[in-house]
Chain A
């Protein structure tokens, strides 16, 4: 596991006597007082023995109204040199924390989100506005005292009642009260708050519904002619409070919510959550190998599925209309296979904590193999159409270069990081499931422009096909249909593990486990105060969220047409950025 060792963390105590080091099933965390936080983090970032250069995540835990101090900041960092992570915690006394944006630009959005969801003020943040909710929204929804059904304080009568005078009182649970909704003035205020000062001629709005954004993102571009001078993004139109739901629902029951986050690669979302929960339970190594092989195979199949959609829409956005239908032809085959195995085509919840919910049906391996037989040829077809195409090169080469520094600074992960020359792949670092037993390469770019991001994703599809091939051979040769696909706990009274997950308790402790989603590192930080059937706090570290953040920086000075290229190569899915 890629985590800092207890010894190494304790060694920090010599230099900083005010820190506390704690450990919970292998996850070492360091607690620092608020006023020393920035100097301590600076040391971690710059000291050659630690070199926690890469920003992974920042979030807040609400310990409940009775506690004082109530809120605790949690920062997760990664050291690319030593391939290890660390958790740094700090109590947010008086509901404030110092800002991290001077150390890592990537903290900007994370701090906005923490302010939005918990009401923690970050001192020194240059524009601390709300991330998901609109300006003027009075509450902070992830606080423990905010009820899960919301606070119904807006009167919003039915149109039938207003227009036709129907008497609806007492019918169909009818209530005039509704949770707060943004008005047009609120939205204008939100827009003003995001871009307080106009730098040039016009502010072009993209979205919330716009054909180029593939989802409900709202872009603000300050345009000088065709060139972008300033940019900000308003997300949150698809915010459903998945983290809040997670706190109010059983562990196994939460899985269907994860696949509604990144709906393009739902299997990978399930995968990340399931791995995190298993690691907190301490059963990840005991899961039957057959289940692990199946999960590895399905995750890679889903990655190909997601990348095919990316390629199609990317080419479509750049004007190559035909590519879209070509990739959908292959995608359809994968969808059919997924449907046959899991029973669903789109929002799949096949994985369970402890394995998968059903064995592979007869003939599944043959179907996948049949798909793989002509898949490499199809990728070559796509590459013939695009890779050496002069127009494609002109639109992508040297467009919006992201450097290695940007990757660490913004916490970029997935294909975006790899295209910038950082071989950061959680599959290799963490080797969850069977990724340490399969043979595959990590494609790495040289320049970090859009073209490299394109090439990296194309190669990733080939590598995924290679992994699937190995999984098929393993599953066919080493396992019989009688092998278990779900973990039978040794003591069923102690660990109530079942497919429906009733009564499943997770122990006290904390865990940060991540998997390599097609869109970046998807991490689940689960914090449990005491053993319970519901988690105390689930933080979802979304790769798309952090990758999208770099958009606002990389687009500056580029023509507006490059915004499309950059957005497509970053490839966010709004369900995951908004959660």
Chain B
């Protein structure tokens, strides 16, 4: 009993730290994105608020929080409020199963840099990812307006395709590691990273993450040229702010973390940074993944929605199945 209480308190503290950390991180991911986009576009990006615009995210957050929160009269109020929460909460809940490193001994305590290590961690992450999509669809429906509705429906169409491909693409690493636990998968990659036989799966996952997080070239649900702003057209203030925060930053970050864990050996790497070496490696890989998505976002035009679903069903799904076959043969040969 005593142990249960202690564990609960430990998990509680850890959760608070994770959530606050994620908020701060997400805020600074917006700064990174804006700087990145700025330099891609040959302009400096945020520059005036703080040193090189470092206080810009805080200014933005203050702005979004103090804006008037307008709820249009024709909306379905319950779903309208629920939608922004449903988009945000599940995205951050995925963090519960994402490990950021091995347990370390600090001042005599064993500190685990993850909240829990479930043996169905990956499935839980996928499930939370799928729930967060309801936010977008609810937002589209509850706004009682045509642009959000088309945006929400588009997102639904895209996600039905890519959820399937995403699930199948993750089968390869799971087969090799023999576990759904994310920590277990990392530990199985001590030697060779799973990217080697799973290259097809990795490609599918890259596309799927772009589609799930609604980044260009798959940002049809908020194609501003035709749908004004898509599913969040009727939203304002912080309710509006939660959507991009959840989709573009938290979801992208968390899904990048999962991709790194599945294919790039998580925190595995040469111990050249001393005791913090696993964290450094993990965050370096994560940053590379995140930057890759930014790079794609700020370079490419966007697909049409029918082309995206076509791509999902006709290319990505077969590729992910082929990946399973390749991995199966790999396991048969190399064990």
Contact = CB atoms under 8 A, between A and B. Distances in A.
A391 B217 contact: yes
Contacts of A206: 226
Nearest to A399: B304
A561 B300 contact: no
Contact of B304 (A316, A326, A386, A561): A561
Given A202-B146, A394-B303, A564 B225 contact: yes
Contacts of A394: 303-304, 307
Contact of B217 (A210, A226, A319): A319
Interface size class, chain B: 20 to 34
Contact of B305 (A226, A385, A389): A226
A385 B295 CA distance: 13
A210 B303 CA distance: 20
A240 to B, nearest CB: 27
A212 interface: yes
A430 interface: no
A318 interface: yes
Interface in A295-322: 315-322
Given A319-B216, A391-B217, A329 B42 contact: yes
Contact of B300 (A391, A559, A563): A391
A204 B151 CA distance: 13
Contacts of A325: 41-43
A385 B299 contact: yes
A317 B303 contact: no
Interface string B29-60: 00000000100111100000000000000000
B299 A318 contact: no
A40 interface: no
Contacts of A335: none
Interface string A376-395: 00000000011001011011
Interface string B294-335: 000011111111110000000000000000000000000000
B225 A322 contact: no
Interface residues of A, number: 32
B220 interface: yes
A318 B216 CA distance: 10
A211 interface: yes
B40 A322 contact: yes
Contacts of A212: 224-226
Nearest to B311: A394
Given A212-B225, A329-B42, A392 B301 contact: yes
A545 B169 CA distance: 51
B219 A559 contact: no
A319 B299 CA distance: 9
A391 B225 CA distance: 17
Contacts of B41: 321-322, 325-326
A210 B302 CA distance: 19
Contacts of A392: 301
Interface of B: 37, 40-43, 146-147, 150, 154, 216-217, 219-220, 223-226, 228, 298-307
Q: List 5 A-B pairs, minimum CB-CB distance, nearest first.
A: A319-B302, A317-B225, A212-B225, A320-B301, A325-B41
Interface of A: 202, 204-206, 210-212, 226, 315-322, 325-326, 329, 385-386, 389, 391-392, 394-395, 559-564
Given A226-B150, A325-B43, 16 more contacts: A202-B146, A204-B150, A205-B146, A212-B226, A226-B305, A316-B225, A318-B301, A321-B37, A325-B42, A386-B301, A391-B217, A391-B303, A395-B307, A559-B305, A560-B226, A561-B305
6 contacts: A321-B37, A322-B41, A391-B303, A394-B303, A395-B302, A559-B304
